[in-house]
């Protein structure tokens, strides 16, 4: 039976030392891996500290061929958080130690363009049961005295020809400017105008690299290592008023993505953060550069009538909305415009005309505002799909096509609490197309309908 996470937490809190056998972990392939790297096949951690929430233990660990050194152990829970599914052990290698296993000893040379500090041996059991042996490297960036060092690590790829994916998230490393990133890769690391350049910190790094072959096994002329891509994550300070008076981004972060970093680097920039649309509505956004395309979304349920009026002006029918999804997008280049996509549980056109499963888009380009709706409308036993359009120069127009053989006029009018005109009651024609025009100021609902034989129209003035 797999090890219960509750039992593991009890063990992690029992005393200053931790002793774990592979049998205790109940992980397939843990036994051979532990015997390869630990004396007696046992994980011994001295001067232990533990984070029960993150399932992490830290302390001093001896490995075969090396004395005690700093270690970071991550216990991986299953998706339900109930049982142990894997483990990862990260041990700092000492200069007088045995070093990396022979099969990966050539890999650090791929990182030679970076000034490296100590190497780490990383090994463990993945949730799929596979044993893995990889490595990590501390980077002496931006200076040798920087503490803590940025740190990246990787397991070997599935195939020898595939790249190693080194990555790391670490405590923020202070930078004087983005120009210091040229120590990692030459290029124009420039933040967009308006983004504060002070208070920069490096928080993440990713590097896809194909190491050159083992120098012992390689033949003369063998290809050296290749850097395929580089990613750099930053935390930024201050705010970015990306659209003065309309959109301001706070809690900024940024990232640079570099293609062909050691050849002809191409750098793209993404800025992320949070836009405060109203006091109650925050949207997490990303801005893709150089085009300044902004996208953001918010999950949850909230009322956004006041927000729509603030961003677009008053739009009839939308004063009191409860939405389950909100997406914000904007083009902030030379031709500026923005829109909101909303999912609504229902929308009331009139007291008797109720739409459900509503998708609403409201957009503003230059000085023009337009809104479109796609929704479901239940008429008797028939579910219809309704589309609606509104512009700042007109009212709402709703259109629906009736599935064959078509709904009856009586059913349609009954759904809206309207009576069938005497001249049509006896015929009760089946409708194939239905257009509804609603004028909120006049409380007038105009109806145009078509059958296979004729068309007709009438207007209903609704009571206040």
In this prediction, residue 195 has a pLDDT band, given cuts at 50, 70 and 90, of: very high
* Distance separating alpha carbons of residues 117 and 444, to the nearest angstrom: 76
Mean pLDDT for 257-274 is 94
Most confident of 73-82, 141-150, 216-225: 73-82
- Enter the pTM of the model: 0.75
Chain mean pLDDT for the chain: 87
pLDDT in tens, 2-16: 999 999 999 999 889
Look at 351 and 188; give whichever has higher pLDDT: 188
In this prediction, residue 146 has a pLDDT band, given cuts at 50, 70 and 90, of: confident
* Distance separating alpha carbons of residues 312 and 328, to the nearest angstrom: 13
What are the extents of the domains in the chain? Answer: 308-461
Mean pLDDT for 38-59 is 96
In this prediction, residue 217 has a pLDDT band, given cuts at 50, 70 and 90, of: very low
Taking 90 as the threshold, does the pLDDT of residue 367 lie above it?
no
Look at 303 and 199; give whichever has higher pLDDT: 199
* Distance separating alpha carbons of residues 339 and 294, to the nearest angstrom: 10
Q: State what percent of residues in the chain have pLDDT above 70.
A: 93
Mean pLDDT for 181-190 is 92
User: pLDDT at position 257, please?
Assistant: 96
């Amino acid at each position: 039976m797999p090890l219960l996470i509750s039992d593991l937490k009890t063990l992690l809190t029992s005393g200053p030392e931790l002793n774990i056998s592979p049998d205790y972990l109940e992980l397939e392939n843990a036994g051979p891996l532990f015997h390869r790297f630990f004396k007696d096949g046992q994980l011994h951690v001295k001067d232990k500290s533990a984070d029960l929430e993150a399932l992490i233990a830290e302390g001093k660990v001896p490995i075969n061929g090396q004395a005690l050194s700093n270690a970071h152990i991550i216990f991986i829970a299953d998706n339900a958080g109930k049982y142990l599914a894997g483990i990862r052990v990260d041990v700092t290698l000492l200069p007088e130690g045995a070093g990396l296993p022979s099969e990966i000893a050539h890999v650090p040379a791929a990182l030679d363009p970076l000034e490296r500090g100590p190497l780490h041996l990383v090994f463990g059991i993945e949730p799929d049961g596979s044993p893995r042996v990889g490595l990590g490297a501390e980077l002496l960036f931006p200076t040798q005295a920087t503490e803590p060092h940025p740190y990246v690590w990787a397991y070997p790829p599935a195939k020898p020809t595939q790249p190693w994916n080194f990555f790391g998230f670490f405590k923020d490393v202070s930078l004087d400017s983005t120009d210091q990133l040229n120590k990692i890769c030459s290029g124009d690391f420039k933040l967009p105008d308006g983004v504060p350049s002070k208070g920069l910190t490096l928080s993440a790094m990713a590097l896809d690299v194909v190491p050159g072959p083992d120098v012992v096994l390689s033949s003369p002329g063998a290809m050296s290592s290749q850097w395929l891509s580089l990613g750099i994550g930053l935390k930024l300070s201050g705010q970015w008023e990306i659209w003065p008076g309309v959109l301001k981004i706070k809690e900024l972060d940024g990232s640079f993505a570099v293609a062909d970093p050691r050849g002809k680097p191409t750098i793209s920039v993404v800025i992320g953060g949070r836009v405060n649309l109203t006091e109650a509505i925050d949207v997490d956004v990303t801005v893709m550069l150089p085009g300044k395309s902004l996208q953001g979304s918010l999950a949850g349920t909230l009322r956004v009538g006041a927000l729509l009026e603030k961003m677009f002006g008053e739009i009839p029918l939308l004063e009191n909305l409860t939405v389950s999804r909100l997406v914000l997008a904007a083009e902030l280049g030379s031709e500026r415009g923005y829109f909101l996509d909303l999912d609504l549980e229902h929308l009331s056109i009139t007291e008797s005309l109720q739409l459900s499963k509503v998708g609403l888009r409201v957009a503003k380009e230059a000085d023009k505002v337009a809104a479109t709706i796609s929704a479901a409308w239940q008429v008797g036993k028939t579910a219809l799909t309704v589309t609606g359009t509104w512009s700042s120069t007109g009212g709402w127009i709703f259109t629906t096509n009736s599935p064959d053989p078509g709904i009856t006029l009586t059913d349609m009018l009954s759904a809206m609490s309207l009576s069938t005109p005497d001249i049509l009651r006896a015929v009760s024609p089946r409708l194939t197309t239905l257009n509804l025009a609603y004028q909120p100021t006049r409380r007038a609902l105009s109806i145009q309908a078509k059958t296979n034989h004729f068309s007709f129209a009438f207007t209903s003035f609704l009571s206040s």
